[in-house]
């Protein structure tokens, strides 16, 4: 095992460190078997799904992380993605425990990496396609879509600055216009998406769960009720992909805190217990639950914000508005002006920042291996800009409305708190 991964370092108190790319020396996700993109491949193997089409799925999890230990699943499988649930290094696990984080979850947690960028749109597309961002092509919260000629807000599927959602998703729209890979459900994994009812009609949800059944919930109690009902279906039951968004929301507002982790994990522990109590004991024992997060968060502060729109010398060199995320921005220079853009950025960015060529970032494996999405170069642009916490990068469109509050937590970058997430698994009876 590559010692730079420090996968066993948590027991000795060392903080986790991802392997470094050979060109840039930046941490990169462990797409080869220790990242979120490997989770659905392990599930597909465990339930005996016959996956159609090319390219092959990302490899399954390494054997020491496999929730099924190489065997077939005994019963239903539940994947619970907790938005914003990051890994805690050893010096902070005690803080989380004191706040009331479920002991059963903590005892079973092992660290894996997310994908890059560490942002929800990218991660969820990787999870439901079992392919890395380099292949599916969803590479940012905001992303340039050449076919539309717009920088789009992918979650809203509308051009940036357009207030109405889903304006890009007209009658001829299909998920393939955004994601270059079909979902794992289209490729042969029977699945149910269990998430907020309000998400059902959105184009982003249609893309994520294309080919799966949708079941929506309104509250935590409704979540527990619906999960129990799905698990009581006659076997063979589908794989249930459940999504919980409250932790990410509160951390964006107030910043990441152990008390928020503990509160939301406690809520979800009660959801799982309620669903368990609705099942026959043997079925509950045979149900495998896999809990993970899409990213963690880091604290960010107003004084460390870099507002690109307030620097006309930088704006004048941009071919289009920045894309990516606040912690990992993608910039595209006007023709022949890339070197000038790099110089202008160096004058405004904080100590510890990195500005790297996007082609080098792709070659270094930050976004995953090939074969690459055919629009990957256009979607990514020229430069990747990374800033250390508590810094963030923002850009307000000319005439755009000022935001109503500063978000005190952020993600998207390669800080260990953003990149590492827990993998928690076991029978429903024990979680």
Same domain, 338 and 281: no
pLDDT at 81: 98
pLDDT band of 71, cuts 50, 70, 90: very high
Same domain, 203 and 63: yes
Residue 23, domain member (yes or no)? no
Same domain, 381 and 268: no
Q: Which residues of 221-260 are buried (b: 16+ CB within 10 A; e: fewer)?
A: eebbbbbbebbeeeeebbbbbbbbebbbebbbeebbbbeb
Distance CA 27, CA 376 (A): 21
Residue 4, domain member (yes or no)? no
Whichever domain contains 391, its CATH number is 3.30.1360.180
Same domain, 236 and 294: yes
Same domain, 116 and 247: yes
Residue 74, domain member (yes or no)? yes
Same domain, 207 and 352: no
Distance CA 124, CA 290 (A): 15
Specify the pTM.
Answer: 0.95
Same domain, 279 and 373: no
Query: What is the extent of the structural domain holding 200?
Result: 35-298+417-430
Residue 319, domain member (yes or no)? yes
pLDDT band of 6, cuts 50, 70, 90: very low
On average, the pLDDT of the chain sits at 94
Same domain, 395 and 421: no
**pLDDT digits over 140-198, tens only?**
999 999 999 999 999 999 999 999 999 999 999 999 999 999 999 999 999 999 999 99
Distance CA 214, CA 211 (A): 9
pLDDT at 90: 67
Q: How many residues does the chain have?
A: 431
* Under 8 Å between Cβ of 137 and 370: no
Same domain, 162 and 210: yes
pLDDT at 91: 65
Residue 26, domain member (yes or no)? no
Same domain, 69 and 139: yes
pLDDT at 15: 63
Residue 102, domain member (yes or no)? yes
Distance CA 171, CA 237 (A): 33
**pLDDT digits over 381-390, tens only?**
999 999 999 9
Cα of first residue to Cα of last residue in the chain, in angstroms, is: 29
pLDDT band of 98, cuts 50, 70, 90: confident
Query: Which whole number is the average pLDDT over 198-213?
Result: 97
Residue 106, domain member (yes or no)? yes
pLDDT at 94: 80
Q: Over 307-349, what HEC string results?
A: EHHHCHHHHCCECCCCEECCCEEEECECCCCHHHHHHHHHCCC
pLDDT score of 335 more than 90: yes
Query: Which whole number is the average pLDDT over 114-124?
Result: 98
pLDDT score of 3 more than 70: no
How many domains in the chain? 2
Neighbours of 347 (CB within 10 A): 9
Neighbours of 162 (CB within 10 A): 14
Same domain, 182 and 212: yes
pLDDT score of 12 more than 90: no
Paired strand residues for 191: 239
Same domain, 159 and 78: yes
**pLDDT digits over 272-310, tens only?**
999 999 999 999 999 999 999 999 999 999 999 999 999
Whichever domain contains 141, its CATH number is 3.40.720.10
Within 8 A by CB and 6+ apart from 242, the residues are: 78, 79, 80, 81, 194, 195, 223, 227
Give the Cα-Cα-Cα angle 62, 70, 58 (nearest 5 degrees): 45
Distance CA 366, CA 358 (A): 10
Query: Which whole number is the average pLDDT over 60-68?
Result: 98
Residue 256, domain member (yes or no)? yes
**pLDDT digits over 224-266, tens only?**
999 999 999 987 578 999 999 999 999 999 999 999 999 999 9
């Amino acid at each position: 095992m590559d010692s730079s991964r420090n996968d066993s370092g948590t027991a000795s108190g060392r903080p986790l460190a991802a392997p470094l790319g050979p060109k840039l020396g930046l941490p990169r996700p462990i797409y080869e078997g220790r990242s979120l993109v490997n989770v659905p491949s392990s599930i597909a193997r465990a339930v005996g799904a016959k996956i159609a089409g090319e390219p092959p799925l990302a490899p399954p999890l390494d054997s020491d992380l496999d929730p099924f230990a190489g065997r077939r699943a005994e019963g239903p499988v539940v994947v619970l993605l907790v938005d914003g649930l990051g890994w805690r290094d050893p010096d902070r696990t005690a803080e989380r425990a004191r706040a009331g984080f479920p002991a059963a979850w903590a005892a079973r947690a092992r660290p894996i990496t997310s994908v890059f960028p560490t942002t929800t749109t990218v991660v969820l597309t990787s999870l439901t396609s079992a392919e890395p961002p380099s292949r599916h092509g969803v590479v940012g919260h905001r992303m340039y879509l050449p076919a539309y000629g717009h920088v789009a807000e992918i979650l809203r599927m509308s051009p940036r600055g357009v207030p109405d959602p889903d304006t890009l998703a007209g009658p001829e729209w299909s998920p393939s216009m955004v994601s270059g890979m079909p979902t794992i459900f289209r490729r042969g994994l029977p699945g149910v998406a269990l998430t907020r009812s309000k998400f059902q009609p959105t184009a982003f949800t249609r893309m994520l769960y294309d080919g799966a059944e949708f079941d929506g919930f309104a509250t935590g109690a409704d979540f527990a009720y619906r999960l129990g009902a799905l698990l009581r279906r006659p076997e063979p039951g589908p794989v249930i992909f459940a999504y919980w968004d409250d932790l990410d929301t509160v951390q964006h507002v107030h910043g990441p805190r152990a008390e928020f982790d503990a509160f939301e994990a406690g809520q979800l522990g009660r959801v799982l217990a309620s669903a368990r109590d609705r099942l026959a004991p043997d079925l509950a024992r045979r149900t495998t639950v896999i809990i993970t997060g899409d990213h963690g968060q880091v604290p960010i502060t107003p004084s460390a914000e870099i507002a690109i729109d307030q620097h006309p010398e930088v704006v004048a060199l941009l071919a289009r508005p920045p894309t990516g995320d606040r912690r990992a921005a993608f910039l595209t220079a006007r023709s022949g002006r890339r070197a000038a853009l790099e110089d202008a950025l160096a004058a405004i960015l904080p100590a510890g920042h990195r500005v790297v060529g996007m082609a080098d970032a792709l070659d270094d494996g930050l976004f995953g291996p090939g074969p690459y999405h055919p629009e990957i170069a256009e979607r990514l642009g020229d430069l990747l800009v990374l800033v250390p916490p508590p810094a963030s990068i923002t850009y307000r469109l000319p005439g755009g409305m000022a935001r109503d509050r500063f978000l005190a937590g952020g993600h998207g970058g390669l800080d260990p708190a953003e990149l590492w997430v827990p993998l928690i698994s076991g029978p429903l009876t024990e979680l």
